[in-house]
């Protein structure tokens, strides 16, 4: 898109936003130009909070399907648009509600804690939802001492290490983007930049998080850099986060831990798709009322641990 077309498109987006009383929410992994046009950029937890609290009538969700679905569950009176309707999350697809019900039979005393990266149907058969920002806090503070944690085995293992007093049954799911980072890659890049602090997402394997100086959600990583005295950082999460990091900290240097840290689904949202979505007020994301009714309870429990 030429810079002239881009500015015309952005102007039309602004106009349509006013006309429809819309808000644009974007995840930290979105393309740079999407983060720049959004009203709010954040991690999964902050985006859910924003969706639950906004006065806007229309929420344009620049992220992946489960995020827009969570917004639709938390804000049933709003129109939730997902400009890139095919943007799914392969990890969310690694758990089906029928399987969750089988695990419940296998561990009848366990509470089910579903990472927000899961379908509405899975949330509807879970007791609690969590994000990477509050998983440890939630698991530590809920009354149940036995937990089925799904679908991310890596986040679940990280939580189990931080909360050793609880028994946690790990689901075998993983994020294809984060899981592929190896400890060898981390050691190699640490040797290249020995002064740099290593910041990683808990969706990475535990052999990788074990080598990090800080493990946290995308917004927690941004917050960590804001407060750190260091000037160099090795970043172990999706490359989209580098945009906010460099914008906020122009004098600091960031090195992506691995060139494969790209989530193709997150990259599906484009400025043209956002415009199209606002012009036609679609694709709309909805959740069946009987699923929503049960899933909202698990999501509201998640929002208590912020
Ligand atoms: P957050 O750390 O922003 O919650 O996101 C992780 C993620 O993979 C979202 O899909
Ligand atoms: Fe799913 Fe991983 Fe992409 Fe997040 S980064 S949306 S967990 S595939």
Sorted by where each begins, the domain ranges of the chain are: 3-88+266-287, 92-175+291-303, 181-256
C-alpha distances in Å from residue 97, one per residue of 14, 92, 142, 174, 221: 40, 11, 22, 17, 32
pTM metric for this prediction: 0.96
Quick one: which atom of ligand 2 is closest to the CA of 177? 2
Q: What pLDDT shows up at residue 1?
A: 80
Assess whether the C-beta atom of 90 lies below 6 angstroms from ligand 2.
yes
Q: Do domains 92-175+291-303 and 181-256 have the same CATH topology?
A: yes
Cα separation, 78 vs 59, whole angstroms: 7
| Ligand closest to CA 26 | 1
Q: Whose CA is nearest to atom 10 of ligand 1?
A: 117
Task: Find the 136 Cα to ligand 2 centroid distance in Å.
Answer: 19
Residue 214 has a pLDDT of 98
Q: How far is the CA of 176 from the centre of ligand 2 (A)?
A: 7
Dump pLDDT digits (tens) for 43-90.
999 999 999 999 999 999 999 999 999 999 999 999 999 999 999 999
How crowded is residue 304: how many other Cβ atoms within 10 Å of its Cβ? 12
> From the CB of residue 286, how many other CB atoms can be counted at a distance below 10 Å?
15
Q: Whose CA is nearest to atom 9 of ligand 1?
A: 44
| Ligand 1 and 277: CB distance under 6 A | no
| Backbone phi and psi for residue 277, each to the nearest 5 degrees, phi listed first | -65, -40
Please state which CATH class domain 92-175+291-303 belongs to.
alpha beta
Whether 149 and 132 have beta carbons less than 8 Å apart is answered as no
Q: Give 204's DSSP letter.
A: S
CB neighbours of 203 closer than 8 A, spacing ≥ 6? 91, 132, 152, 154, 155, 174, 175, 177, 178, 179, 237
Whole-number pLDDT of residue 245? 98
pLDDT at 4: 84
Superfamily of domain 181-256: NadA-like (3.40.50.10800)
The ligand with the least distance to the CA atom of 134 is 1
pLDDT at 102: 98
What residues in the chain have per-residue pLDDT under 50?
Answer: none
pLDDT of residue 143: 98
Give the CA distances from residue 230 to residues 187, 197, 247, in Å, rounded to whole numbers and listed in that order: 19, 7, 16
State the ligand closest to the CA atom of 49: 1
The helix (H) or strand (E) run that includes residue 23 is strand 22-27
| Edge-to-edge strand list for the sheet holding 79-81 | 40-42, 22-27, 58-62, 79-81
Helix (H) or strand (E) holding 200: strand 197-200
Count the residues in the chain.
306
Question: How much is the pLDDT for 216?
Answer: 98
Question: Is the CB of residue 237 below 6 angstroms from any atom belonging to ligand 1?
Answer: no
CATH class of 3-88+266-287: alpha beta
């Amino acid at each position: 898109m030429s810079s002239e077309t881009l500015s015309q498109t952005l102007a039309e987006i602004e106009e349509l936003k006013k006309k429809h009383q819309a808000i644009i929410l974007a995840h930290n992994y979105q393309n740079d130009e999407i983060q720049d046009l959004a009203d709010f950029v954040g991690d999964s937890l902050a985006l859910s909070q924003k969706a639950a609290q906004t006065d806007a009538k229309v929420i344009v969700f620049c992220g992946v399907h489960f995020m827009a679905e969570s917004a639709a569950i938390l804000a049933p009176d709003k129109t939730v648009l997902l400009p890139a309707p095919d943007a799914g999350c392969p990890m969310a697809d690694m758990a089906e509600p029928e399987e969750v019900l089988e695990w419940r039979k296998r561990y009848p005393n366990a509470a089910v804690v579903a990472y927000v990266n899961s379908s509405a149907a899975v949330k509807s058969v879970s007791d609690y939802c969590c994000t990477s920002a509050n998983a440890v806090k939630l698991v530590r503070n809920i009354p149940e001492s036995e937990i089925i944690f799904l679908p991310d085995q890596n986040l679940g293992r990280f939580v189990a290490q931080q909360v050793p007093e609880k028994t946690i049954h790990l689901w075998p799911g993983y994020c294809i983007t984060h899981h592929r980072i190896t400890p060898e890659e981390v050691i190699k890049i640490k040797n290249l930049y020995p002064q740099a602090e290593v910041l990683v997402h808990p969706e990475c394997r535990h052999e990788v998080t074990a080598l990090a100086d800080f493990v946290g959600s995308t917004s927690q990583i941004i917050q960590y850099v804001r407060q750190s005295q260091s000037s160099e950082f090795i970043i172990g999460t999706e490359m989209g986060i580098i945009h906010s990091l460099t914008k906020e900290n122009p004098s600091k240097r960031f090195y992506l831990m691995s060139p494969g840290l790209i989530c193709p689904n997150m990259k599906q949202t484009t400025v043209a798709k956002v415009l199209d979505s606002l012009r036609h007020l679609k694709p709309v994301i909805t959740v069946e009322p009987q699923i929503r009714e049960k899933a909202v309870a698990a999501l509201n429990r998640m929002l208590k641990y912020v």
